[in-house]
A and B are shown apart, each in its own frame.
Chain A
Amino acid sequence: MSLLRSPSSEPLWKEEFSVFTADERYVTRRQFVKFLSLASVGMFVGNLWILAKAYFAKPPTYPASAIAEVGEIPVKGVKLFSYPGPDDRCIVVRTSEEEYVAYSQKCTHLSCAVYYSAKNDRLECPCHQGFFSIKDGSVLQGPPPRSLPKIVLQTAGGKLVATGVEVSENG
């Protein structure tokens, strides 16, 4: 009689199937520590990648690009333009008769477009109330972690020309 199958509620294929899902999904502490160690290797590789980028990446080159006529923008007025690529939106502000400043329009927090508040004389991000100084693009208030990239401007032939992008070292 031992050759006969003992009565069971499980179907035959389930009894004879050698893989038990619950056992397969069971993770031991040792496996978990191994997985954590693997994640640690991943973090280290990420840091090495940043290191390689920092040491071996070539500094970017920027083309010269005319963005406005001198005098075209009124004092405390603004003009939007793209620099260095067509998707890199920037804002130029005429702060006084002779002075122009330009910054990337992307907030360094979550990339919302910043605008110039003439009343407060600062650049403001409407999304999370991040404020930037109009003088150097530094963060005055709010969640942005670093300054706005500054666009280097020159005057040539009666035109305002963008010649580069400065990323602040001071955060």
Chain B
Amino acid sequence: MAKPDFTTQRRGLVAIDGAMALVIILLVVQIWLLSAALEGFLAGHHRVALPAAIFSGLLLACCLGLNAFVDRVDRESRKE
């Protein structure tokens, strides 16, 4: 009977934890970006809205990418 490969599972868990930490950091940056964009908008700086939205979209893409990565690693480590 083949023994389950705990090393692969542990690696997968570390990768997922790392990705999760990164997503949290990206989310904090996004929250800050939203509050800064709102503050700028209320102060009459309408020009900040476009770069803020673009950067927020990039951060969202990173979060979704990491989400897909977590899904894949989780699926692979369960297969082992």
What's the minimum C-beta distance from B76 to chain A, rounded to whole angstroms? 13
Count of A-B contacts with CB under 8 A?
A: 97
In Å, the complex CA distance between A123 and B79 comes to 68
Chain A contacts of B63 at CB under 8 A? 36-37, 40
Set B20, B26, B43: member contacting A40, Cβ < 8 A? B26
Q: Does A51 contact B (CB under 8 A)?
A: yes
Chain B contacts of A53 at CB under 8 A? 41, 49
Chain A contacts of B42 at CB under 8 A? 146
Q: Which residues of B contact A (CB under 8 A)?
A: 16-17, 19-20, 23-24, 26-27, 30-31, 33-34, 37-39, 41-47, 49-50, 52-53, 56-57, 59-60, 63-64, 66-67, 70-71, 74
Given contacts A47-B57, A50-B34, 10 further A-B contacts (CB under 8 A): A36-B63, A37-B67, A40-B64, A43-B56, A44-B53, A44-B56, A50-B53, A53-B49, A54-B46, A167-B43
21 pairs, A vs B, C-beta closer than 8 Å: A29-B70, A29-B74, A33-B23, A33-B66, A36-B63, A37-B64, A37-B66, A40-B26, A40-B59, A40-B60, A40-B64, A43-B27, A44-B53, A47-B53, A50-B53, A51-B50, A53-B41, A54-B41, A54-B47, A54-B50, A55-B46
